[in-house]
A and B are shown apart, each in its own frame.
Chain A
Amino acid sequence: MKEPVKLKDKDFVPFKEEKPNSSRAVVYYDKKSNEMGKRPSRKEKVRAEKLTFYYGTKQALQNINLDIIANEVTALIGPSGCGKTTFLRIINRMNDLISGSKVEGNVFIDGDDIYHPDVDVVELRRRVGLVFQQPNPFPKTIYENVAYGPRIHGIRKKAYLDEIVEESLKQAALWDEVKDRLKDSALSLSGGQQQRLCIARVLAVRPEVLLMDEPTSALDPVATQRIEDLIGTLAANYTIIIVTHNMQQAARISDTTAFFLLGEMVEQGKTSQIFTRPRDRRTEEYITGRFG
């Protein structure tokens, strides 16, 4: 990874269309990018190599090799305890918070090893946003929830913050519902609105990758529908990785699907292929509901 970057006001252009580091990423993956049989234009954003993970002595992930394509929606499916959420949290190093956990192998974002000792975890987490399973807005106002991220990254100007808040809420398809009550408590919103607020909060720090950990499992069908629509539109600007228990959801919204089982990544492929012609027998058994 590059030198830890300290954001200044002028650097922080919200939602500028960006192609970070593309030359470097291409060079790094040049040899391997065709190995998976992908079109050259589909560029890996996140790459896991021989990734193994332990909670204490318990092995949670074993030898995961997985490429996540930029500006696609990648769904991680599999039964409970298969390691898909663990994998997700490894990508922005939230698993660092668990004492006694250990990572072996490598995870690259744009070709940079995110577990290199020089990596600035704060900057990594800004680039890789995480949306949690339970909507978890802060007990602050709607405005303050969205402005929180930009603020901690050093943005002070009110006008600029206003702009970021509005843009983020618009991107999260929440602006029209809350624009007249930005000063209300975020806890006064419905569950679905809270989850979209959490998405807006993440978007406000202008991440490149969006991790979503079963973002709709606590929501009703209507709210779920809205989040799914939102994910579809966000994929134009972000690389999205979503963990879901709901296989219809994975089929509806993702481009690529990876199937996890017992800490292993069994199969990865285009979503249409995984759900119609899975190569592995275990994948087939899972998606046809024989276990799970």
Chain B
Amino acid sequence: MVNIKENSIKYIFLLSGLLSIFILLGIFYLLFSNSYPALRDVGIKAFFSRGYWNPTAYSVPQYSILNLIKGTFMVGAGSLLFVVPLGVACAAYLAEVAAPREREIFKPVIEILAGIPSVVLGFFGLVVVAPLLSRIFGLPNGINALNGSILVGIMALPTVISLAEDAISAVPQEYRHASLALGATRWQTLKNVTVPAALSGILAASLLGMGRAIGETITVLMATGNALADPSSFLDSVRTLSANIAIEMGEVPRGSLHFHSLFVVGLVLFLITFIVNLLADIIFNRYREGV
């Protein structure tokens, strides 16, 4: 009797584990099978050759997603540029400097930051960040890649902070003591011993933050302007892969070539985030073994 109960519980857990794998595979299949007609009729090359994304052109439709990929990476990498220093500094503060009481206040606040709906953050981008950027840089409007980077950075910040804090806290106390006992100050110890020892964990945290940034849709859609042109700087309007799908999917005739080519965009996005997350995972595991 006990055995049956034990076994059934075991299988329930096994099933839920298998379910997530099944869903992952299912999504991958869905993406691939729906992309296939476009890949077959348009050809992979058309997606990755110079040009624009314009599948609904009257004369010659164009399917190049290079500008979209560029826009996606600009927003993702741009967010890293300020989220990594900020996140690591914040994590170092929490892990090394803050009194337990301060930590008790800071950590929940940061968690709440993670809970802000992305649409609300989009408002923030339109109403606060955009006017600010337009005034600082003297632009007609501040709806551009930089705006998207900032907002997505704010979204990624909690992830980066909490993972980087874990990495810093995991550095053995002995290293700190050895450094302090040699006459190093707390700051020297943090800069020269603790953070370098936690570096791979911090790197993994940053990549996961970037993975989040790349996949982010609605905030970016609201803040970046969604122009299809080739962006030449962070002050240009860009459209990301994710925003492109969200904008066009609602209006596209089901089953058309345009419809299927949007799935190609999704497939590319999926592969990019998959690779970034995989990379983060590899780095993270290596750091686990290193310590």
Contact = CB atoms under 8 A, between A and B. Distances in A.
Interface of A: 92, 94, 97, 122-126, 129-130, 132, 134, 136-140, 148-149, 151-153, 198, 201-202, 205
A149 B182 contact: yes
A97 B180 contact: yes
A152 B177 contact: no
- Nearest first, the 7 closest Cβ-Cβ pairs linking A and B are A126-B183, A136-B174, A125-B183, A130-B181, A149-B182, A152-B184, A122-B183
A201 B183 CA distance: 12
Given A138-B193, A138-B197, A140-B196, A152 B174 contact: no
Contacts of B197: 138-139
Nearest to A124: B183
Given A122-B185, A138-B193, A148-B192, A94 B179 contact: no
Nearest to B189: A152
A136 B178 contact: yes
A125 B290 contact: no
Contact of B180 (A94, A139, A151, A202): A94
Contacts of B182: 125-126, 129, 148-149, 152, 201-202, 205
Nearest to B175: A138
16 contacts: A94-B177, A94-B181, A125-B182, A126-B182, A130-B181, A136-B177, A138-B175, A138-B178, A138-B197, A139-B196, A148-B179, A148-B184, A148-B193, A152-B179, A152-B183, A202-B181
Q: Which of B177, B178, B185, B192 has the most CB of A within 10 A?
A: B178
Given A97-B177, A136-B177, A152-B188, 20 more contacts: A94-B177, A122-B183, A122-B184, A124-B183, A125-B182, A125-B183, A126-B182, A129-B181, A136-B175, A137-B178, A138-B179, A148-B184, A149-B183, A152-B179, A152-B182, A152-B183, A152-B184, A152-B192, A153-B183, A205-B183
A148 B197 CA distance: 14
Nearest to A99: B99
A236 B183 CA distance: 23
Chain B CB within 10 Å, residue with most, of A136, A151, A153: A136
A148 B180 CA distance: 11
A53 B183 CA distance: 22
B160 to A, nearest CB: 22
A201 B181 CA distance: 11
B198 to A, nearest CB: 10
Contacts of B196: 139-140
B180 A198 contact: no
Contacts of A151: 192
Contacts of B188: 152
Contacts of A139: 175, 196-197, 290
Contacts of B181: 92, 94, 125, 129-130, 132, 202
Interface in B146-191: 172, 174-175, 177-185, 188
Nearest to A131: B181
A132 B179 CA distance: 12
Contacts of B172: 136
A134 B174 contact: yes
B102 to A, nearest CB: 14
A132 B183 CA distance: 15
A256 to B, nearest CB: 23
Contacts of A129: 181-182
Contacts of A132: 174, 177-178, 181
A86 B265 CA distance: 64
A152 B188 CA distance: 7
A198 B177 CA distance: 12
A152 B180 CA distance: 11
Point out which of A94, A123, A130, A138 has the most chain B C-beta atoms below 10 A from its C-beta.
Answer: A138
A211 to B, nearest CB: 9
B100 to A, nearest CB: 10
Nearest to A94: B181
A117 B181 CA distance: 19
A241 to B, nearest CB: 14
A191 to B, nearest CB: 14
Contacts of B185: 122, 152
Interface string B54-94: 00000000000000000000000000000000000000000
A245 to B, nearest CB: 19
Contacts of B192: 148, 151-152
A132 B181 CA distance: 10
B30 to A, nearest CB: 45
Contacts of A198: 178
A184 to B, nearest CB: 15
A42 B170 CA distance: 46
A251 B212 CA distance: 63
